[in-house]
Amino acid sequence: MGTTTPRAEPNLLGFRVNHRTMRADTRRLAELLDRVAAGGITYDRRRATALRTYLRLLCTGIHHHHQTEDDVLWPVLERSAGAAVDLRNLSADHAALDPVLDEVRAGADELVAVLASAAADQGRARTVAARLAAGLTRLSDLLDAHIEEEERLLFPVIRRYVSVADWTTVERAVRRGGSIRFELPRLERYAEPAEMDELRAIAGPVLRLLLAAMRPGFRRREAVVFGD
Ligand SMILES: [Fe+2]
């Protein structure tokens, strides 16, 4: 008899929006570099330097997210869900990301080097941009496949087996390593309005204040990197 109180489930909204942001922003950058490679957008030293900063922050954020899954989420899952989950393929995906992230960072360095030289050669810059576009496309494809698989396999397991307290620990660890000035305004770009409302309701007034403080600087950086 009696009623059972439904068990409180972890809220996966922040993770879902974070995943979407990584995927969508990487794809957007791959498409941008395709346009630079095709001569549709002209890059100079200033824009290449802004792009390099953006890509370094992006790569650090992607690496940190997956490292935190390995270091914090995986042990939580092994302890809470044990045999219900097999993390080997997802771990292999994580390891496969690192060399591609290195390739993207190196491509951004090379683009700056070409455009910073006295005789900045636009033809060479376009060749380097094409290589960087290929690296970003590879990164984007890896992220799409990996994150789709991870959400399909792990989200139901997290909801079912992981405690709200453990999930809070995971989310805190994910947040701790990233550059908040870079990550927060990007979340806002890729979250649906209703999702943003929910995130604001969870985080309280601090989120609104942080976004108001960080949005203008991020938009300026974004305009330099992505503008026509
Ligand atoms: Fe992952």
Segment 143-173, tens digit of pLDDT: 999 999 999 999 999 999 999 999 999 999 9
* pLDDT of 2 higher than 60: no
In the chain the domains, ranked by start, together with CATH numbers, are 13-226 (1.20.120)
CB contact set of 92 (below 8 Å; sequence gap of 6+): none
Report the range of poorest mean pLDDT among 80-84, 99-103, 214-218: 80-84
CA of 65 to the centre of ligand 1 (A): 7
Averaged pLDDT score across all residues of the chain = 94
CA of 95 to the centre of ligand 1 (A): 10
CA of 150 to the centre of ligand 1 (A): 6
Residue 172's H or E segment, with its range, is helix 164-177
> What Cα–Cα distance (Å) separates residue 225 from each residue in 39, 48, 86, 112, 195?
15, 8, 40, 13, 26
Its sign, for the CA torsion 151, 156, 160, 161, is negative
CA of 223 to the centre of ligand 1 (A): 30
Largest CA distance in the chain: 82
CA of 125 to the centre of ligand 1 (A): 33
**Cα separation of 138 and 148, whole Å?**
16
Return the pLDDT at 84: 85
Could you tell me which of 40, 18, 60, 52 has the C-alpha nearest to residue 224?
52
**Cα separation of 165 and 173, whole Å?**
13
93 burial (CB, 10 Å; 0-12 / 13-18 / 19+) is middle
CA of 97 to the centre of ligand 1 (A): 10
- Tell me the mean pLDDT in the region 177-182: 88
- Phi, psi angles (nearest 5°) of residue 214: -95, -20
Give yes or no for a contact between 182 and 61, defined as CB atoms under 8 angstroms apart: yes
Could you tell me which of 146, 130, 119, 166 has the C-alpha nearest to residue 10?
166
**Cα separation of 211 and 196, whole Å?**
11
CA of 85 to the centre of ligand 1 (A): 14
Return the pLDDT at 199: 92
Cα angle at 200 between 206 and 29, to 5 degrees? 95
Q: Could you read off the pLDDT of 99-145 as tens digits, one per residue?
A: 999 999 999 999 999 999 877 789 999 999 999 999 999 999 999 99
Return the pLDDT at 1: 47
CA of 120 to the centre of ligand 1 (A): 39
* pLDDT of 226 higher than 60: yes
CA of 66 to the centre of ligand 1 (A): 5
CA of 69 to the centre of ligand 1 (A): 6
CA of 76 to the centre of ligand 1 (A): 14
